[in-house]
Each structure stands twice: as structure tokens, then as C-alpha cells.
Amino acid sequence: MACDVQATSNIISLHFLTMVIPYIAIFSIPIFLLIHCLLFCRRGSSNGKRLPPSPPSIPFFGHLHLIDKPLHAALSRLAARHGPVFSLRLGSRDAVVVSSPELATECFTDNDACFANRPKFPSQMPVNFNGTSLGNANYGPHWRSLRRLATVHLLSSRRVSGAMSGVVAGEVHAMARRLYRAGGVARVQLKRRLFELSIGVLMEAIGGTGMTRPDEADDDTDMSVEAQEYKRVIDELNPLLGAANMWDYLPVLRWFDVFGVRRKILAAVDRRNAFVRRLIDAERRRMDGEDGDGHGESKSLISVDYVNHNRMGDVSSTEQSRDAQESSSRNRHIRRKFRLITAEDVSQLSYLQCIISETLRLYPVLPLLLPHESSMDCNVNGYHISSGTMLLVNVVAIHRDPAIWDEPEKFRPERFEDGKCEGLLVMPFGMGRRKCPGEMLALRTVGLVLGTLIQCFDWERVEGKQIDMTEGVGLSMFKAVPLEAECKPRDTMCDVLQKLF
């Protein structure tokens, strides 16, 4: 009898719970939203301080519903409505967006130390060595040590014009040889070729991998075995980071990693680290086997941090070279003949410099730079910015401001002739103490690559079709449809190209 009563009681309880749970779930949603709003209002309370304007937000997501692609275009539309500085709440992150040269200068001069930190994105922490690399470390003793190493040794003017100059020239000549070997009119995927060149420069600078190039008869690639392996790792990591990007703004999504993205990222990072360790071990063996006192400067730039830091340099020089080639392909009237240039000639080719400057103005590699983060409370344009706020600088909006630039959407290299644009803010490499230290190397590389491609080859559109300049989706400003062009060695340059073999 007691058992029957107990069983009946259990059935009634189960039935009751089955009926009640849906109602609990329904009523818990507004309670959760109310708590969320109260917490956000407390966090965003002005306490009598003037806050930047902000569009209406929705609970939990904030302003994520307003973010469209490409991101810089969406932020430009918001700036047209709310002004050159406004705030956003991107899920769990507070952000402030700056879209004018005056305010960008204020952020990186008056508030340079305040905005010297980098936000920590969970999806990228395994890739950038838990935020300890030069590009991602917070401002402090560790970052200053890395910065000093980069500016004084790795990327100094002496090194860039010395050892690195020969490395870049060697890779440019290897690319020219490959294009010449194709013979006749060849269709070229410039994004692929320029990315291979960037990886080749990095691998040659790090470990001197040129001796492991494949047979010169191979028309497909001139990359070393090491460069090809590193490229495979990068190609594997990039789409995974894009898939995990929403974790950085909606942390709850990390609980639902049903596709195993995090596991795949960690596996790819392990392969990257193992590859770098092999390069380090090979360099140590080489140094141990050398004669001398060992105190001279190594010809190798081997270090895990250098590899990680220069991943952005790979993208930078690749995007700049390709965009400049696209612009010159669409504007054939600007092309001029050059002699076979060297790195020392680049600074003397004034019109080539104008082409590069205009390309960087119109197509900056990072349209929003790398995000900064405030380490303390500060003021921008009279608005209060709280500690821990992410700063986004809309470089595209600054570079294409019609109030500053004449016909800003047009590709006109002539605007940079004779110092006409002196005093106007162009910041493709950033500003302040977090400015990219590889600017000199990137500009010399782009100049040598672009000058060689234009001087040695005739370039035509594929089947005469107009080039599609639609922007792709991602951190860097690349084309949705990779550029293809037809190239043919110039008759006057065939003898010169033949000597490169």
C-alpha cells in the first residue's frame, strides 16, 4: 500500500514538473533580460559624466545586429548618423569608434599611453602565444623589450637596407623567374603569387631556407619546402579563427562548440609550434657548427615571437602589392617603364612611391587597424571613455573623407606628387607607440615587387573583363574575387630575365 502511494506521488510530481517547467522557462526569459539590463545600466552609468552617443541596443547582443560586412562600411554609416566618435556594445564588450583624423590624433598623442593595450580575444589566445607576442602583448616591460628587439635589431634601418634587402631581392627574382618560365601569355593569380613571396621572404629571413627550394623546372611554385609547410599551417588556421570569432563577443557560444573548432585550432597551433621548433633547432645546430667566437649577429631572425609577429607582415605586404597591381591594371595610363630596379632605387622612383601611397590611402591593409584597449579612464573629444573599452579607428573613413580629400574614391597617384598631401593624415601602419615597426620593410618590399612586375612584364585584364573590386570579408581589406591577370614578358626584358636563372 505504501509503495502504491509512493508511486502515485512520484507520478503526480513528475506530471506537475512536466507542466510547470515550460512556464518557468517562459517567465525566466524576461527576468533574465531584466537582470541583464540592470547590470548593463549600472556598468554603463555615466555618473554625471558625458558619454559618447550610441545607437539603441538590444539586450544580450547589444549592437551586434547593426554590424554588417564589410565592417568599416557599417561603421561609416553609423558615424554619419551619430558623429565622428560613438560607442557600441558588442555583446559582452564595450567599444568606441573614431572616424576623423583629429580624433585619431587625439587618441594616439594625448591618450597614447592609455590606448596602448590590446584587447584579449579568447579565440586568438592560443595562436598568439597567450597574448605575449609583440602585436598582442599589453603595454609594459615585456612589450617594451620586444619592441626594442624589433626596432633596434630585427627591423632596424641598417638591417632592412642590408641583410633583408638581399632576402627580398632574392624572393622577387624567384617570382620573376617563375613568371618568365611560363612562357608567352600566362594567366596569373596574383594573390597566391604575392602571398607565396611574402612567406618566402619570412622563411628565408628566419632560417635561410632557400637551399631547399624545389627543382627550378617546377612551374607551380618557387617556395622552399619550409615555406610551403608554413603556408599550409596559415591556410588551415585562418578560416578556423573566422569561425570562432563570435566567441570573443558572446562567451556563452564557447559552451556549444559542436563543430570542434577550438580543438581544430589547438591542433593547428601545435603543428605550427612544432614547425617553428624544428627551425629553431636547425638554427642552433648551424650556429654550433660555425667557426668564430659566436658573438657576431646571426644572419637568421629565428624566434617564435618573430614568426608570430610577422604573420601580420605577410598579410600587409601581400595586400599592398596586390592592391597596387590591381589599381595600376585598372589605370593603364599611369604605368611607366623602369629599369631593373634594386631596393636602393625604390626611394628614388617618385611616381612609384605615389602609386604605393595612393594604394595605401584607398585600400589600407587593416581598415580598422588592430584594436586598442584603454588601460584607464580617459576623455576623447570631451567624452568619458571607461577603462577596458575597445578602440576601433576607422582608417577607411579617414582616408576617404570628402571634406579632406578631393575625389576620395578615385585612384589618383598624382595627388601625392610634390608633397601636395603633406599634412594630411595617412595612417595605414597605425600611429603612436603601437605603430607597426615593419613599415620600412613593407614599403621597400612593395616597391621592389611592384616595380619589378610592371617593368619586366606586360599586364592585361583576363579576356578584357572589368576587374571586380568587391571587398571580401575579414580582418584585412582583400578582394572577394581574387585578382587574375595575364602577363607576358616584355621583349626588351627577356635577356635580363634570362640572366636571373
Annotated binding site for heme: 436
Q: Which three cell numbers stand for residue 185?
A: 601569355
Q: How many Å separate Cα 33 from the centre of its chain? A: 36
User: Helices marked H in 153-224 — which ranges?
Assistant: 157-161, 163-181, 190-207
Known binding positions: 436
Q: Which three cell numbers stand for residue 152?
A: 633596434
DSSP character for 49?
Answer: P
Q: How many Å separate Cα 149 from the centre of its chain? A: 21
Quote the CA–CA distance of 65 and 69 in Å, as a whole number: 11
Place of cell 517562459: 26
459: enclosing H helix or E strand: strand 457-461
Quote the CA–CA distance of 474 and 394 in Å, as a whole number: 15
- State residue 457 phi and psi, 5-degree precision: -135, 150
Q: What is the largest CA-CA distance in the chain?
A: 107
Helix (H, G, I), strand (E, B) or coil at 88: strand
C-alpha distances in Å from residue 323, one per residue of 282, 329, 403, 450: 36, 10, 24, 10
Q: Are 243 and 259 in contact (CB under 8 A)?
A: yes
398: enclosing H helix or E strand: helix 395-399
Sheet containing strand 390-393, strands side by side: 85-90, 93-98, 390-393, 372-373
Quote the CA–CA distance of 50 and 57 in Å, as a whole number: 19
Q: Are 365 and 311 in contact (CB under 8 A)?
A: no
Q: Are 241 and 265 in contact (CB under 8 A)?
A: yes
Quote the CA–CA distance of 200 and 189 in Å, as a whole number: 17
What does 372-407 look like in DSSP terms, one character per residue? EE-SS-EEETTEEE-TT-EEEE-HHHHHT-TTTSSS
Quote the CA–CA distance of 206 and 303 in Å, as a whole number: 8
Q: Which three cell numbers stand for residue 111?
A: 591618450
CA dihedral 293, 299, 302, 305 (to 10 degrees): 110
Place of cell 596559415: 234
